[in-house]
A and B are shown apart, each in its own frame.
Chain A
Amino acid sequence: MKMLSSFCRCVWVSGVAVALMLMTTATAWAQQVPPEGGLEGFVPANSLPPAQRMPAAPLLIAAYAFIWVALLVYLWFIWRRLGRVETELRQMEGQLRK
């Protein structure tokens, strides 16, 4: 009986999640507008328009640098927090043994 009720709850919650997904997607499809503004695909070119070389480069470098630095900082924060928590854990385990 308990298993059946758990199964029913599982089906119900999964159903709600799927229904929410379908609802949001259906809302989007229901308001179709001819897709004109965006690009359908990228066209490769052999050379770069000269006017774009200088202004784009700093922004491109900034984008890559931001991701690199942010990832390293985030990892450093995690490892530092992990070190503190593990020290606290060892201390608590030692106190409990006493």
Chain B
Amino acid sequence: MRKFFAPLLVLAILLMVVAPVLIAEAPYEATMGLIQKIFYFHVPSAMMMMLSVFICGIWSIIFLLKKRPAADHVAVTAGELAVVFGLFVLVTGPLWARIAWGVWWTWDVRLTSYFLLWMIFVGYLLVRKYGGPGSDKLSAAMAIFGMANVPFVYVSVDIWRTMHPKTTVVTTLGEGMAIPFWFCVFAFLVVYSLVFVSRLRLEEQRARVEQLFLEASDI
């Protein structure tokens, strides 16, 4: 895992430096103007959050079935990253909304469902930290519940009347907006991988310390 770290770090820095240049050169959106450019970091953050939720949910299922600690380490890592990238979405979204809608926050179905999904994963981390013995299984069940909410959050904008842009905005982007957008998605994926690798290593080393502590107490 260590051999991937340095190339990932260099690539992540390069991509994150180039991304704002591409975003600055992208055309303005006709109705929203400059503030729409938050979209280039806001949506990739949301994509990484959803990816994290799926990784956390799937590895939680594997952990519950196979009882493999390695699966739990992946799930914890992904759970924490879901909260971090979800926070990016919840901070950048209101900054966009203030200009585009005139309010920082509204209890719109997309915003509310996304906020609840984020809260589930905040709960996941709290259960992990303070739940005591057996909290790994309880939190794994929470992660599966959280994952089950993802399709609901995704389709909410297409079903209910909402102020939030629909899912079609991504598929209908013109070339001038699509290139910087997909570049940013790739940049976020690389950054996500870098953070994931680091956080997973921390979790694995922490588990080794606990194991050694148990071995030492047996002696």
**Which residues of A pack against B, CB within 8 Å?**
6, 9-10, 13-14, 16-17, 20-21, 23-25, 27-29, 31-49, 52-53, 55-57, 59-60, 62-64, 66-68, 70-71, 74-75, 78-79, 81-82, 85-86, 88-89, 92-93, 95-96
Residues of chain A with a CB closer than 8 A to B68's CB: none
Interface contact A40-B161, CB-CB below 8 Å:
no
Query: Which one of A33, A38, A96 contacts B216 once the chains associate, using CB atoms below 8 Å?
Result: A96
Q: How far is the CA of A67 from the CA of B195 in the complex (A)?
A: 13
Interface contact B213-A92, CB-CB below 8 Å:
yes
Number of interface residues of B (CB under 8 A): 72
A-contact bits for B56-100, CB 8 A (1 contact / 0 none): 010001001100000000000000000010011001100110110
A25-B151, A52-B99, A78-B198 known; A93+B212 contact, CB < 8 A = yes
Interface contact A33-B160, CB-CB below 8 Å:
yes
A-contact bits for B124-165, CB 8 A (1 contact / 0 none): 000000000000000000001101111110011111111111
The binding surface of chain B is classed by DSSP as helix
Q: How far is the CA of A38 from the CA of B170 in the complex (A)?
A: 13
Residues of chain B with a CB closer than 8 A to A49's CB: 33
Instruction: State whether the Cβ of B177 lies closer than 8 Å to any Cβ in chain A.
Output: yes
Least CB distance, A11 to chain B, in whole angstroms: 10
Query: Which one of B84, B163, B198, B215 contacts A37 once the chains associate, using CB atoms below 8 Å?
Result: B163
Q: How far is the CA of A6 from the CA of B68 in the complex (A)?
A: 14
Q: How far is the CA of A93 from the CA of B129 in the complex (A)?
A: 25
Residues of chain B with a CB closer than 8 A to A13's CB: 61, 64-65
User: Can you name 29 A-B pairs with beta carbons within 8 Å?
Assistant: A17-B147, A20-B145, A21-B147, A27-B152, A28-B159, A33-B159, A35-B159, A36-B161, A38-B161, A38-B162, A38-B165, A39-B31, A40-B166, A42-B169, A43-B29, A43-B30, A48-B28, A56-B99, A59-B35, A63-B38, A63-B41, A66-B88, A66-B91, A67-B41, A71-B191, A71-B195, A78-B195, A88-B209, A89-B212
Least CB distance, B42 to chain A, in whole angstroms: 7
